[in-house]
Amino acid sequence: MRDVDLERVRALPLFCGCTDETFRTLTTGAFLQRFPAGTTLLLEGDQVDFLYVLLDGMVELEGTWNDRETTLAVLRPVSTFILAAVVLDADGLMSAQTVERSDILMISGAAIRRVMSQDAGFAVAVAQEMAGCYRGLVRTLKNQKLRGGLERLANYLITQRLRQGGGATFELPHEKRVLASLLGMTPENLSRSLASLADYGVEVHGPSVTITRPAVLERLAKPDPLIDNHQPVTDALTGQAQQERWPLPDRGIRAA
Amino acid sequence: MRDVDLERVRALPLFCGCTDETFRTLTTGAFLQRFPAGTTLLLEGDQVDFLYVLLDGMVELEGTWNDRETTLAVLRPVSTFILAAVVLDADGLMSAQTVERSDILMISGAAIRRVMSQDAGFAVAVAQEMAGCYRGLVRTLKNQKLRGGLERLANYLITQRLRQGGGATFELPHEKRVLASLLGMTPENLSRSLASLADYGVEVHGPSVTITRPAVLERLAKPDPLIDNHQPVTDALTGQAQQERWPLPDRGIRAA
DNA sequence: GTCGCGCCTTGATTTGCATCAAGACGGCTC
DNA sequence: GAGCCGTCTTGATGCAAATCAAGGCGCGAC
């Protein structure tokens, strides 16, 4: 495994608080693998033996029931996934497959569980990461239960705009059918909803979206910091916990 | 605080792995309080200063947006809540209110965060509890996105039957309007859905439900271990992590 | 180039669910 | 007891979303 990759992993919130020894223990048994697009990494119900760390590419997490299928999340580097199943040594509740060719680091789950009880700093980092993932899901569930399809889409666009720098034009990060599934609607309905957002200043050309009147769109979307995480995504902030900690600077002051 | 209450807390998965010193640190600063029914313990967006432990009574967790409201969970003793916000020192994403008169132990969040980095056993327990909560939410989200209202209700009834001993007759644990909100439907629709389940051998008299032909109901509900957690609730198994660990007996053997 | 195959879009139709409205029932106060 | 309020039920209606169906478009294979 290349040093540059090791450093990227070491910089993850999940690993930056652990001891060198812990990190060495975890990475010596680990291996980095490259998967082509469309590879199924993990099937719902499978025993989970590894923690996965996405270093490059894109991964989709999905759930199925009764021949239906839904996208639960789409991951970008650098992210870890199925940590919860690893912590509890339980079966995975979702499937994972690559969307693009992806570089993925696989770390022994047994090693992670072993090391947690020896390195409190690492255990704390795992707890924080899990808490961040949990809060992300709470947001998703509220989004799903409280908003209608058009509102979910409008808020998604607003969030994307901010995450991609806040300019008027940005790119949809996935295929539209994936986006539809993520938003809990059919591709047909996503298409229609995008069309009807033209009235609110949204122009769509293929994967490129331009929001001409943000204020108008916001009046429809009613974004809410308790549902939408508008944190800008920077290189410095990876991992679910960090994303949930924002905006914590002033909290730190309050607590001090 | 009474010794008998202290012991119940000590026996929680979250606390039974920590040192005596950790436990003493956490509980000396804590206080037990009794709240009447309908008390709001915590409002969405509030800063969270305490970990709450429900010792007696019933608590509802809810989320709101744009004058809409949805129930995210209903808790029974002994449960902890808002652990994620405590771990990350973040604002709460949901409101909490008592449904019945409730005895609730409040433990300093700052103390919890402090103690985590000193007691690896405790930090591991927190990580496991968070992982269990996370997996519970994944199940909820799949339930919500993949199934229709009638299917959610049918599966809810099957789960309740098992949790209450598996007899043909059992009781709905909450008011029907709360149940409706939990299942993501209106009270009107819950009423109609219950009525239409008569065709599948479900008899309802007030809060009491009888399932006369479980096989027929299951053919409609198609329960799935990756969505429905059919673990029987016993006194020995409290806490989200433990509930997610079942059925682990044979996993232990495989791993050995 | 031409074919074929996904993806996306658009339209027509049906279904599921929310909403609106009214009434039944039980528990409560006075 | 009468009156009231909240819960639950039932029916009528309207809207949102899924489904079904057809066609356009981009792109790679050959």
Which residues in chain A are closer than 8 Å to B147, comparing Cβ atoms? 65-66
Q: How far apart are CA A252 and CA A255, in angstroms?
A: 5
Interface mutation vs chain A, best among B46, B48, B226, most A CBs within 10 Å: B226
Between the CA of B36 and the C1' of D5, what is the distance in angstroms?
Answer: 21
* Whole-Å CA distances, B104 to A168, A248, B55: 49, 28, 6
Interface of A with B in 198-227 (CB under 8 A): 222, 224-227
Percent above pLDDT 70 for chain A: 91
Q: How far apart are CA A216 and CA A218, in angstroms?
A: 5
* Whole-Å CA distances, A154 to A232, B58, B68: 18, 36, 18
- Fill in the DSSP letter of residue A54: E
Task: Give the pLDDT mean for B250-256.
Answer: 34
Q: How far apart are CA A157 and CA A92, in angstroms?
A: 30
A142–B117: do the CB atoms touch at under 8 Å?
Answer: no
| Amino acid in the structure at residue B173 | P
Q: What does the mean pLDDT of chain A come to?
A: 91
- Phi and psi at B149, nearest 5°, equal -55, -45
Which residues neighbour strand C (beta carbon < 7 Å)? A 175-177, 187-188, 190-192, 194-195, 204; B 148-150, 184-186, 188-189
* Whole-Å CA distances, B90 to A224, B64, B93, B110, B135: 16, 18, 9, 12, 21
The residue written with tokens 């108008």 in the block is A216
A139–B93: do the CB atoms touch at under 8 Å?
Answer: yes
Chain C nucleotides near the protein (CB, 7 A): 7-12, 16-21
Question: Tens of pLDDT along chain A (256 residues)?
Answer: 788 889 999 999 999 989 999 999 999 999 999 999 999 999 999 999 999 999 999 999 999 999 999 999 999 998 999 999 999 999 999 999 999 999 999 999 999 999 999 999 999 999 999 999 999 999 999 999 999 999 999 999 999 999 999 999 999 999 999 999 999 999 999 999 999 999 999 999 999 999 999 999 999 999 999 999 987 665 555 666 666 765 433 333 333 3
The reply to whether A250 has its C-beta less than 7 Å from any atom of strand D is: no
The reply to whether A189 has its C-beta less than 7 Å from any atom of strand D is: yes
Whose CA is closest to A127, among B84, B193, B127, B215?
A: B127
Q: How far apart are CA A57 and CA A104, in angstroms?
A: 9
All structural domains of chain B, each given as residue ranges with its CATH number in brackets, are: 3-143 (2.60.120.10), 148-226 (1.10.10.10)
Instruction: Give the model's confidence band at B255: pLDDT under 50 very low, under 70 low, under 90 confident, else very high.
Output: very low
Identify any residues that bridge with A211 across adjacent strands, giving them in sequence order. Answer: A202
What is the number of H-type helices and E-type strands within chain B?
12, 11
The 10s digit of each residue's pLDDT in B140-191 is 999 999 999 999 999 999 999 999 999 999 999 999 999 999 999 999 999 9
Secondary structure class of A39 (helix, strand, coil): coil
C-alpha dihedral, A226 to A159 to A57 to A19, nearest 10°: -40
